[in-house]
Structure 1
């Protein structure tokens, strides 16, 4: 039972370790009265073994010197075999246990669940936690032992600091910028005499070692919960810890004066992970990606300009490094301003996008850590596993060997053309609605397969590829139903971060069930979702065409309907609403009579394109997929929408994108195009668009790994680093990154080291012609005819 003095908070960090032969879980929690350290001792790691394997398993573990406790349980695996719990006495033993048993053909179920994760998930603790225990006051926090904990609703108020470092090209620290609500400063190596105006926000220190100690003292004084930055883990923290080691100090930036722990990725030498006890480190790039943002470039300069309309003064990497060095030697105050500006830009990006709110909501919904990148499988496991145990089952182990691919989303062959009045009808969250309607669920599959086919049909719903789902024994449909209702509520109340978090989680459930990286993967689950989606989309197409309209394209959950001639906005909206009402009613009646289920399918009228282009595949007559453009008019405001075309692709030049936007505007408004095309080509040849000729591509491998096929961007990168080497500058592209280059008469050359004249014919042939050929034939014109030299009369 909980004592009357129980407190509430939010779990910031979780760790587990062995201390003097027994386990210890440490949870750092943010509360209304300050940070709290919860210590849970001797919570034993558990895995599960089939009862028939218990005796030989016990013998093998005894032989290996692994001490365990056994307990038969009323649990079974998905093959309906009785299970025993196997409790290890230490984390070290629990890590060795599955390997020892696997060597003799015995499977240890759920042995990969980390101790701290299991402690939280089995108590349904998702972010918010209620706790009690024996409290001891420490310096800057309270510590609890003999802890009892359970789930609670609690939304934290967290102190966030934005951190950024400036250094030499060799990694020697110049300064550290820190920006938060309580304080904003730059700790700078140098003499206060450098600062004629005596800026209070610059803290001068005499050496790099003094800088690191001042940074440590700052964290002790201001005690932030969250550290944010741009590439803050793999650059800033990596370098801070290296310089601390070089200066022979332990950088105690964690709560309780504990040092950060660095862990190098075993798969990517350029990626690491940082644990700072009691504090969460959120990288801006990773968090934006987790929230499904996407940008042409992920540099702070580029993202801040796109989101905030402002950026940094210096962008070229060589100019930036040279200027940073020059400022450190001659104008340290300007370097401090530059350093602090980076911190403020990151803070403003987080505020503008509500990223911290998003991370908190995601943690409250799923129980994943605030700093977890991706985490769809972990989120599903957190939510599903404890419910599964209470239903009498243990989860299966990862088994990628038996992975069978499931069909992807439905993509219909398109009908190319330039259309008037095209409607887009979307099924709202199609895959989650299929899961809800047809009870698709891991437990539902296991229980559904127990029911004999052809009998008790009122209890099982047929899926695909042999799947059958129990009508009442399931969890996932109810999980989605509650998330769905919560998202509708969040949208009504304007809670964008909450709504986005729910949408991502809800839509990830299909991906999780179709991923070999998920313990609940079964091709009958994923196929019963996607193949049902195919069936729904095809039937919906027939229903629409039976009403006299033409379906010109379909993609996963969207259907594109041509009304066959131009309609006013009012008439198109009326048709869209009528079609949606008719189809939703048809599905409700059909599913009730055919499957005896209530339909959760919801078709929505999304868009009316006044003009719409469905292009062909380049060089063919077949219609393309996932590529189109359309003109939308809302409240008298026009908007061009591009999907998959050159305008929205990062591997095409601005030359092509500007040309496409202008050309499409003219075609969609029945304006003259021939003179425009001809003039744009002539201006390109005359060098009037040279600022739009740059290609920007990512090097996804080390330069040395490109051997047989050497694409243009790799050739440009090699040339750039040859120039860097000759000029004594650091090599920039050997380990990947982004390269900007142009095509010259001598091939690709990097922008920063271009030596040859531009090959304008390349740009006309490879950038302008494909764009023009995508639309001109639909109005009876051709790029080559327009741009051919004019023949005189004589």
Structure 2
């Protein structure tokens, strides 16, 4: 075969009789291709001093071989390679060696992952040679092709069910054959034409068979949905199982290879051969989107300005049931509308592009979310091997606490003219500048003369010339600069998230490279940098009022115009960066990659105290920012306005009060009028608490918070009226505080406890803001409260 490029969709390994086989499904310009690589050997490592003990075990493992290698552990012990024809043999050998306290290193690296990482392949591949039989290619070679991005065939899938989870319809949108499969008989009366096919199926078995046939016929690369794995696909799988038929949504009519999450009870993965399955909620969270609720209705209203609302959860289920019984075409329209919204959200947020760029950046399968440790290993292991080292096993170093990011004590109050400077990618920059690295640490701690290395916190020493992570970060950093230059925001975001995860990975006990000294060499260096930056700024005559990890908040000591504040910030940026370059070069002979940038000018700024004290709070502030063109924006961080667990009443009040103070507008009448209208019942629609139930309802025994009390009341009501209980296994509950305590919206009986909302929602917010003016909420509202 001639060479061509592809993009890895799914990967799989299996132990076949002749050896381990690897299977990669690719998207190519010529359509989907399956690459099969046979008889792929698996390898692990063991300290060479255990050669005889390991050799004694090989009688139980035919065709396994030991070979000497020019590799060593981080403790400078030489190792030998253990080569197996079947990957599962390594796991069995590791268990056999465990009683002998002999570690088998890297035995858990899965064959397809090792094959890709050792060839520096992430997602894009160049296929060379091989034999083709239909869409299957074997005996070929794969090389990296980082520039290839496929045009993918995408389908959005959504189902509708009864309130008991019985399947009513399945909708598919995004491809030429837009369709809804509906359980039941077609209506006898004619309907207006639909812009999709509506196929009636006499049984659920027929629905599953029609769905299988649609996937074989249309052959999408990607399945999109909203909670598509945990709900839609699970219901489809259960339906198929109950009907005694197979659900065959994978390529070549293969089933979903369901897997359970090892640390999350009830959570499932749905590997589907040849197809990506991407959940919109997971994709948004991976791209660091934030919403008070990730429901399809809320996200579509926020991003698209429209939604699918029928009503609340109970009205929706009742309306779905009515449409199924009385107007099946209307249910089909509603069903496919959800598919359409998902497609439009993915397009609006560039989610599919982000998912592909993330796969190319991390080396993880495109629909594998999370996975910071796996992404780190994908980049690090092959480079470490080429430096002559093998990785330790997870748990080799005992868990020990280490310092996190540096957070300065704040100076509370209201300020004019505050500028914020921010260290660009602080932790990755520290890694690059100070050469923080597992291999570099292993080398540095064994230097004959520690002065030849780079000294770090806690008596750490790092090699100047043998390391991996600084080069990885440098490559990613340059790639991000290029992505920003060409305005490829999804790629820029993927690269940023990967780089910023590295320090956290070194501090994760689940990671084989976990080492408190390594992560401390990053975080404690950050502490030192922030303290030195503060001293430098204050020697210039300004005052630092707060700092958080990589940001420093500087009060300019008097009111500045916007242009003046921006000019001061630019001068500080230039001076600080030049100072770092000179200091690092002269004192340690290091190249400086630390770069501080101008972030924000706050025309007005507010830093509150910790509630009930005069001590400044941390990670909580508000400001009126002004950009270079003079555009103003209210910014809230950590305050009630930015938190979903406070009522809309409190958030609206805080925003209104701060906006008036920042714009030098009268605020006292606003406070008294807001209290009056609340007491008069004019803001009842803003009194709703919306809180998450993080555990099963029966798990709350001693401390029973208000949301649990409300949920129990709601489910008691649901059971009484014949509805399914909604909250037994967690979820979100909406409730109000009444004179009888917390009551859910669906079963409220008592009158509103307005005093609760004044004293628990409005007063704490008002007092924090009014204190610097010598005022209080009670003083301003006493006369109003007396009227009610």
Which interval holds the TM-score relative to the shorter structure? over 0.9
2:159 paired residue number: 165
1:216 and 1:790 map into 2 onto residues whose CA distance is 67
Deviation at 1:633, TM superposition (A): 2.7
Deviation at 1:235, TM superposition (A): 0.6
Give the 5 Å matches for 1:471-486.
471-486=464-479
2:312 paired residue number: 316
1:788 paired residue number: 782
1:20 paired residue number: 17
Is 1:152 the counterpart of 2:149? The answer is no
Give the 5 Å matches for 1:169-248.
169-193=163-187, 196-199=191-194, 200-248=196-244
Whether the aligned pair in 1 keeps the contact of 2:130 and 2:141 (CA below 8 Å) is no
Is 1:613 the counterpart of 2:606? The answer is yes
1:122 paired residue number: 118
Q: Deviations over 1:23-68 (max 9, x none)?
A: 2111111111111111111112211111111221232343x55652
1:528 paired residue number: 521
Deviation at 1:133, TM superposition (A): 4.5
Is 1:437 the counterpart of 2:433? The answer is yes
Task: Name the stretch that deviates more: 153-162 or 87-96.
Answer: 87-96
Q: After TM superposition, what 4+ stretches of structure 1 lie above 6 angstroms from structure 2?
A: none
1:34 paired residue number: 31
1:203 and 1:7 map into 2 onto residues whose CA distance is 40
1:758 and 1:443 map into 2 onto residues whose CA distance is 63
Whether the aligned pair in 2 keeps the contact of 1:422 and 1:609 (CA below 8 Å) is yes
2:130 and 2:410 map into 1 onto residues whose CA distance is 67
Q: Secondary structure at the match of 1:465?
A: helix
Give the 5 Å matches for 1:233-632.
233-399=229-395, 402-454=398-450, 457=451, 459-632=452-625
Q: Secondary structure at the match of 1:419?
A: strand
Deviation at 1:574, TM superposition (A): 1.2
TM-score by length of 2: 0.97
Whether the aligned pair in 1 keeps the contact of 2:123 and 2:359 (CA below 8 Å) is yes
Q: Secondary structure at the match of 1:742?
A: strand
Deviation at 1:637, TM superposition (A): 3.1
Is 1:672 the counterpart of 2:669? The answer is no
Q: Secondary structure at the match of 2:180?
A: strand
Whether the aligned pair in 2 keeps the contact of 1:68 and 1:88 (CA below 8 Å) is yes
**Structure 2: gaps (5+ residues):** none
Q: Deviations over 1:700-738 (max 9, x none)?
A: 111111111000000000100000111111111010100
Task: Name the stretch that deviates more: 37-46 or 86-95.
Answer: 86-95
Deviation at 1:638, TM superposition (A): 2.3
Task: Name the stretch that deviates more: 578-587 or 617-626.
Answer: 578-587
2:602 and 2:191 map into 1 onto residues whose CA distance is 62
1:762 paired residue number: 756
**Structure 1: gaps (5+ residues):** none
Q: Deviations over 1:663-709 (max 9, x none)?
A: 11111122222221111111111110000000011111111111110
Relative to structure 1, the CA distance from residue 322 to residue 61 in structure 2 (aligned partners, 3 Å threshold; closer, same or farther) is farther
2:449 and 2:517 map into 1 onto residues whose CA distance is 16
1:522 and 1:315 map into 2 onto residues whose CA distance is 52
Q: Deviations over 1:190-241 (max 9, x none)?
A: 3333552353521222221111111111111111101110110111111111
1:43 paired residue number: 40
Deviation at 1:611, TM superposition (A): 0.6
Is 1:656 the counterpart of 2:650? The answer is yes
2:165 and 2:447 map into 1 onto residues whose CA distance is 65
1:727 paired residue number: 721
Length, aligned pairs only = 782
Relative to structure 1, the CA distance from residue 538 to residue 16 in structure 2 (aligned partners, 3 Å threshold; closer, same or farther) is same
Task: Name the stretch that deviates more: 710-719 or 776-785.
Answer: 776-785
Q: Deviations over 1:85-106 (max 9, x none)?
A: 1122323323222111112211
Give the 5 Å matches for 1:699-714.
699-714=693-708
1:191 and 1:503 map into 2 onto residues whose CA distance is 53
Task: Name the stretch that deviates more: 332-341 or 665-674.
Answer: 665-674
Whether the aligned pair in 1 keeps the contact of 2:276 and 2:367 (CA below 8 Å) is yes
1:179 and 1:564 map into 2 onto residues whose CA distance is 59
Q: Secondary structure at the match of 2:458?
A: coil
Deviation at 1:790, TM superposition (A): 7.7
- Note the aligned Cα RMSD (angstroms): 1.6
Whether the aligned pair in 1 keeps the contact of 2:672 and 2:784 (CA below 8 Å) is no
Deviation at 1:315, TM superposition (A): 4.2
2:56 paired residue number: 59
